[in-house]
Structure 1
Amino acid sequence: MYKTIGVLAHVDAGKTTFCEQLLYHTAAIKKRGRVDHQDTYLDNHTIERQRGITIFAEQGRFEFNNTMYTLIDTPGHVDFAPEMERAVQVMDAAILIVSAVDGIEGHTETVWQLLKKHQIPTFIFINKTDREGANLHEVMEAITRDLTQNALLFNHKIDTTVKEWVAERDEALMELYFANQLEDTECIQALRKLIEKQQAVICMAGSALKDEGVIEFFQWLDQFTFSNYDSTSDFQGKVFKIRHDGQQRLTFLKALSGTMKVRDEFTFGEVVEKITEIRLYNGSHFVTVQQVNAGDIFAVKGLSTPEIGDVIGSEQQSITFEMIPTLQAKVLYNGSLHMKEVTRIFRELEAEEPSLHVVWSEQFQEISVHVMGVIQLEVLTEVVKERFDINVLFGRPQILYKETICEKTVGYGHFEPLKHYAEVHLQLTPNPRGQGITFMNVCHADHLSVGHQRVIEQHLFEQEHHGLLTGFPVTDIEVTLLTGRAHNQYTAGGDFREATWRALRQGLEQVENRLLEPYYRFKMKATNDHIGRMMSDIQKANGTFEAPILTEQTVIITGRAPVATFMDYSTHFAAYTNGKGALSMQFDGYDFCHNEEQVIEQIGYNKNADHIYTSSSVFLAKGKGYSVPWQEAKQAMHCDVE
């Protein structure tokens, strides 16, 4: 049996120390490391040890009670949340570490919601019970109130309290309980089913640093969890991590079904790739094997096409992630390398961290990256220096804006310089917020071949497209291909790209465009005396909030606010609540920008000077191409227009 267990927490809750103890007790390591000694097993990167935080999701591997376990230690800092989220995709169960001193913290709730969304059975280890200020009763109250009503404080045994708790959730067991006939084994089986359905969350307490309660916790987790993978069917494997070993790429997978062997071949589109090596990792160490089975976690060499989130052996499309950067920063480099080579370096990093979304501007010869925060930029600087021996800095992070339209329109694009020809008509319709760009096709094959129709769709999705207001990407638009035209002799590669992009741009020109900005969904908790300050700050930040929830001593306020005005608020909140308040913030999608005119003026984008995009069309007369401005393009089209 194979089980993949993830360990997650708010930063500094003791997650890595917990992993060290568990790996030691299961004989995966011979010596326990400490974060403050910079010698922990899974935080094996120099940068992690120097900073004392987990940055990369790394795995340990051990056998326990005839089960092969992979233990994944995930980052706890919000700047590295995308790395944590990708690891969640391959977990069979999760251990959430909560500090008995600090309780439920901001990122704890974010992690919990992510585990809940992916239906990962979760266990909670309440850590640091040896510390001054630890209050197990208060933490359990907070878990029940803020995370789940299904939390059960489990004292390492099936006692009367546990039996009563389980019996309350099953009528048949209730009868046995009242008859004093409910056996421990029946109780364990019932708990296993409840845990699997996320209807029970087992909570146990201890101290990872003092090695109190860790192995006992895991022994019960081993009893309460199970996995069922089919090794007899065709192979399917989910890509959840990419690394580079020297010059070669390592693709990390979770085998969902079947088996994989060295020399197996897989087809990606028209590309056929062969598995040349399979590795089983334990920290930075590995062994090579000839075969892996369903349920296992491993790395392979030989694959260069699949991206993180892809499922090999399946038509399933890549999943979308929730931990999305809301900031963008320019790469500042003054060395001797050509910027194209620097871009290649960042593309390699992007394969490992897709949320970077590296953008190269040919016009300005600039590279920009998407990031979660300034700590991530500091780490990126160190990674680039260590791995590639070049020095880079980053500009001040800027908000990632987007643009959309407010009404339906049709855009027309024609591209016909000498010996080239393509025409495209696209209907643009506003999509619901957060839907992104979607595509529909009502073009008849009599007007345009199916092959050309697919090329148009491909060009729509091959990159993000600049908006008219700021040059930031357009989003939340349904694009419908109405019709188009090709020439049997003169339509060449790239012609439909030109016509498609011009049609999109021409459509944008005809309607009102609006600027969108990212928003946080926040939840803040503090003592009642701070309620006035909290509500006032939210209003000043152009946020909105729901009716405050008041108790005798505390107030909880939830709401939404722009990232631009709220991204640094946690520091102020911690200051005026003396560190005793709790603030969680989650990305909550895009909405209309609260200071649209100011941002547009500040960015100063000139839509007519964008050399990549133009709304004009090109037509041919007397053997020479000439430009037709967007206002006149509709009348000049060759196809019938709507």
Structure 2
Amino acid sequence: MLPRALNLGILAHVDAGKTTLSERLLHAAGVIEEVGRVDHGTTVTDSLDLERRRGITIRAAVAALEIAGVAVNLVDTPGHPDFIAEVERVLDVLDGAVLVVSAVEGVQPQTRVLLRALQHRGIPCLVFVNKVDRRGADVVGVQAEIGRRLGLRTVAMGRVDGEGTAGAAAVGFRADDPDLLGPLAEVLADLDEHLLQEYVEHELSSGPALWRAELVRQTRRGLVHPLFVGSALTGTGVGALVDGIGEFLPAASGDPDGPVRGSIFKIERGHAAEKVCYLRMVSGSVRLRDQVNDAGDKVSAIQIFERGRWTGGDHLPAPLIGKVWGLAGARVGDAVGERQSRRPGHEFGLPMLESVIHPVHEDDQVALRTALAQLAEQDPLIDVRVDERHAELAVSLYGEVQREVLQATLADDYGLDVVLRPATPLYVERPRRVGTAAEVLFGPGNPFRATVGLRVAPSPPGAGVTFSSEVDHRAVPLYVYRTMEDFTRAMEHHVADTLREGLSGWPVTDCAVTLVRSGYSSPDGPPSSNGPLSTAADFRKLTPMVLMAALEQAGTAVHTPVSRVRVQAPTATTGGLLTALGRLAAEIDAPAVLGDDVVLEAVLPALDVQRLRRALPTLTSGHGFLDAEPAGHRPVRGTPPRRRRTRVDPRDREAYIAAVRPS
């Protein structure tokens, strides 16, 4: 029998209780004897000292249990928006998810962000309304809010007795309970004409089995979401959720004997500072001493989960998750085995801030670079920017908490005292129109033995940078590149590297780059191209000249990162809040009234979110709270800012050629 596994993500807005729920699930399955507490720093999945001190999840953690004979890999993800990139990497390996929503706070900004990502990937999910034992809990109101604000079709699988008290108890509906079957039939009949006819003609007389089976089917299609209620802190309702995970979410099955395909979604360092890769196998098996990447690295050790514990093994079969040692050149997001199609762009957007970092002690400069390189393997989006010309390092960040965590990590794990300057906006450039340029082999002003032609075109916001090729294999020096795929991959790398600094020095994004011409020199070529052999270096060095010329023809617009904030505060403070938002150049939606409070939503520059957060206690007499989420970019008004370049501008042909040609 092929192995069956369910890679299950626990996702939520920060402080909704997902890590405590993970502990409860492990306890219910008998994996741990006692349930850890986030506030006590005793949880299994928050294993980093820094996580325990701060009481937040920073890195995704994997634990294992068994439900109904299925091996469940439980992935606890960060809830704080500063670590959203960690969540994005995990989503690509999930088969199902539990979206945790607080019965008190209800739907929050991160809840919406996470749900959109799950829906985009077609990942089925259950909803767990947590903290029913907290004062102010309102399960019915939260379920209505989930339908209204998230557009989800939910079916309540139980109710709460003593809601909002320490003794609150979740009571699951029986399979034939009218309180379950009535709402369930209404939801399902709305999706299927045959079920609608069945409901109209026979109401519920056909029995619960029909409706339950259809609920399973529609849940796995992502169209309906069973909603469970309970408290992760006390454990009430968790048993019903465990049963629901086994019934409603689909277990994955992969052929262990098929072609090898997998992906690395997490990297950490072992006790001896060796690289440990978390690998999700989709097909095939990885075995000891297998060579699984282009770097020639060989697997030296494997661990898989058995009975809730990591144990050594000689192979990792699909569809399991395991730890793999020996892949020294691996980075998060790397494919193992056969290459798989990649999803363009980033679901949650790129970091919006940048901070210059330097060691307190000058002698630690090399050690700092080494440490940042290792951290970039775990989180590529910190994107260490090295400015050799001005002896400066900078890192990309999502927010102030991530900045503080990075500083603490360097101190705790690497013994490095560093200073991070106040964050500044990380602007981006987008092409205005289509631009094309080419440099021809042996042409005037082209000292490189290659022909390269590139076209740059704008792409929709959030698309990132895409690369494609229109050239024929006969125009490619296959004596240098083994295959057409290798050549295309190399050119894609050269393009991405060049676009790190656009016309104004900022990263260029949301553009499609197409290779439209290629040519090379060889002794036995036609008269127009014969001569000394072309090399990979010729294409690498020529590409920036051509690409920047095409980009200059296209023109770019500089955009500033913005965030959407939601402020809730007493209505008496509305005037002061509107004035403060106006000073920050915010685009403000119409205010909404919620009881005695006003709710303001606005889009404002990302850097100003922290200013607003610091001013909020004074503006609201301590009674306001704020949530924020990335909202993309908007064009800079007035003169666009420029960023100092870290290398010679390829548009300065003479200086560039002098810099890249060997002396």
Fold conserved between structures, TM > 0.5: yes
Q: Which residue of 1 is the match for residue 418 of structure 2?
A: 392
> Is the deviation greater in 316-325 or in 581-590?
581-590
Q: Distance in 1 between matches of 2:285 and 2:473?
A: 42
Confirm or deny: 8 A CA contact 1:339 1:365 kept in the other structure.
no
Q: Which residue of 2 is the match for residue 631 of structure 1?
A: none
1:163 aligns with one of 181, 203, 210: 181
C-alpha offsets along residues 121-157 of structure 1, whole Å, 9 cap, x if unaligned? Answer: 2222222222222222322222121123402222112
C-alpha offsets along residues 388-411 of structure 1, whole Å, 9 cap, x if unaligned? Answer: 222222111111112244344444
Confirm or deny: 8 A CA contact 2:301 2:324 kept in the other structure.
yes
Q: Distance in 2 between matches of 1:573 and 1:173?
A: 51
Which amino acid in structure 1 is aligned with residue 26 of structure 2?
L
Confirm or deny: 8 A CA contact 2:264 2:335 kept in the other structure.
yes
Distance of aligned partners of 1:550 and 1:130 in 2 relative to their CA distance in 1, 3 Å threshold:
closer
C-alpha offsets along residues 412-452 of structure 1, whole Å, 9 cap, x if unaligned? Answer: 66999999634656455441343444445566788775769
State yes or no: 1:187 paired with 2:221.
Answer: no
Distance of aligned partners of 1:512 and 1:153 in 2 relative to their CA distance in 1, 3 Å threshold:
same
Q: Which residue of 2 is the match for residue 351 of structure 1?
A: 377
TM-score (norm 1): 0.84
Q: Distance in 1 between matches of 2:658 and 2:354?
A: 38
C-alpha offsets along residues 588-617 of structure 1, whole Å, 9 cap, x if unaligned? Answer: 3333213544x34xx5x4x7xx64224233
Which amino acid in structure 2 is aligned with residue 261 of structure 1?
R
Which amino acid in structure 1 is aligned with residue 73 of structure 2?
T
C-alpha offsets along residues 213-241 of structure 1, whole Å, 9 cap, x if unaligned? Answer: 22222223322223241325323222211
Q: Which residue of 1 is the match for residue 79 of structure 2?
A: 76
Q: Which structure 2 residue ranges, 5 or more long, are not aligned?
A: 159-171, 482-486, 522-530
> Is the deviation greater in 117-126 or in 402-411?
402-411
Give the 5 Å matches for 1:43-58: 43-58=46-61
State yes or no: 1:248 paired with 2:274.
Answer: yes
Which amino acid in structure 2 is aligned with residue 229 of structure 1?
S
State yes or no: 1:217 paired with 2:235.
Answer: no
Distance of aligned partners of 1:185 and 1:541 in 2 relative to their CA distance in 1, 3 Å threshold:
same
Q: Distance in 2 between matches of 1:551 and 1:517?
A: 32
Q: Which residue of 1 is the match for residue 224 of structure 2?
A: 200
Distance of aligned partners of 1:537 and 1:198 in 2 relative to their CA distance in 1, 3 Å threshold:
farther
Distance of aligned partners of 1:109 and 1:626 in 2 relative to their CA distance in 1, 3 Å threshold:
closer
State yes or no: 1:117 paired with 2:128.
Answer: no
Distance of aligned partners of 1:546 and 1:305 in 2 relative to their CA distance in 1, 3 Å threshold:
same
1:473 aligns with one of 507, 515, 539: 507
1:60 aligns with one of 59, 63, 66: 63
Q: Distance in 1 between matches of 2:554 and 2:104?
A: 55
Secondary structure at the aligned position of 1:37 is classed as: coil
Q: Distance in 2 between matches of 1:546 and 1:54?
A: 32
Q: Distance in 2 between matches of 1:582 and 1:160?
A: 40
Question: How far is 1:8 from its partner?
Answer: 1.5
Which amino acid in structure 2 is aligned with residue 502 of structure 1?
M
Q: Which residue of 2 is the match for residue 89 of structure 1?
A: 92
1:286 aligns with one of 292, 307, 310: 310
C-alpha offsets along residues 481-517 of structure 1, whole Å, 9 cap, x if unaligned? Answer: 4556655227555344333223333455566543222
C-alpha offsets along residues 291-319 of structure 1, whole Å, 9 cap, x if unaligned? Answer: 33323221111223443233323321443
Question: How far is 1:346 from its partner?
Answer: 0.9
Q: Distance in 2 between matches of 1:445 and 1:62?
A: 50
Confirm or deny: 8 A CA contact 1:429 1:478 kept in the other structure.
yes
Q: Distance in 1 between matches of 2:654 and 2:476?
A: 19
Q: Which residue of 1 is the match for residue 285 of structure 2?
A: 259
Which amino acid in structure 1 is aligned with residue 635 of structure 2?
F
Question: How far is 1:252 from its partner?
Answer: 0.7
Q: Which residue of 2 is the match for residue 403 of structure 1?
A: 429
Confirm or deny: 8 A CA contact 1:310 1:317 kept in the other structure.
no
Confirm or deny: 8 A CA contact 1:239 1:253 kept in the other structure.
yes
Question: How far is 1:256 from its partner?
Answer: 1.6
Question: How far is 1:263 from its partner?
Answer: 3.4
Question: How far is 1:348 from its partner?
Answer: 1.0
Distance of aligned partners of 1:615 and 1:107 in 2 relative to their CA distance in 1, 3 Å threshold:
same
Distance of aligned partners of 1:352 and 1:551 in 2 relative to their CA distance in 1, 3 Å threshold:
closer
Question: How far is 1:544 from its partner?
Answer: 3.7
Distance of aligned partners of 1:7 and 1:580 in 2 relative to their CA distance in 1, 3 Å threshold:
farther
Confirm or deny: 8 A CA contact 1:261 1:291 kept in the other structure.
yes
1:461 aligns with one of 496, 509, 512: 496
Distance of aligned partners of 1:596 and 1:28 in 2 relative to their CA distance in 1, 3 Å threshold:
farther
Q: Distance in 1 between matches of 2:287 and 2:104?
A: 48
Secondary structure at the aligned position of 1:272 is classed as: coil
C-alpha offsets along residues 268-290 of structure 1, whole Å, 9 cap, x if unaligned? Answer: 3xx43332221125899621122
Confirm or deny: 8 A CA contact 1:106 1:583 kept in the other structure.
no
Q: Which residue of 1 is the match for residue 458 of structure 2?
A: 431
Question: How far is 1:63 from its partner?
Answer: 1.8
Question: How far is 1:461 from its partner?
Answer: 2.7
Confirm or deny: 8 A CA contact 2:353 2:425 kept in the other structure.
yes
State yes or no: 1:593 paired with 2:619.
Answer: no
Distance of aligned partners of 1:318 and 1:346 in 2 relative to their CA distance in 1, 3 Å threshold:
farther
C-alpha offsets along residues 345-394 of structure 1, whole Å, 9 cap, x if unaligned? Answer: 21111111121111212112222111111211221122222222222221
Distance of aligned partners of 1:591 and 1:137 in 2 relative to their CA distance in 1, 3 Å threshold:
same
Confirm or deny: 8 A CA contact 1:410 1:425 kept in the other structure.
no
Confirm or deny: 8 A CA contact 1:525 1:556 kept in the other structure.
yes
Q: Distance in 1 between matches of 2:618 and 2:139?
A: 25
Confirm or deny: 8 A CA contact 2:86 2:379 kept in the other structure.
yes
Confirm or deny: 8 A CA contact 1:42 1:283 kept in the other structure.
no
Secondary structure at the aligned position of 2:263 is classed as: strand
State yes or no: 1:382 paired with 2:400.
Answer: no
Distance of aligned partners of 1:295 and 1:448 in 2 relative to their CA distance in 1, 3 Å threshold:
closer
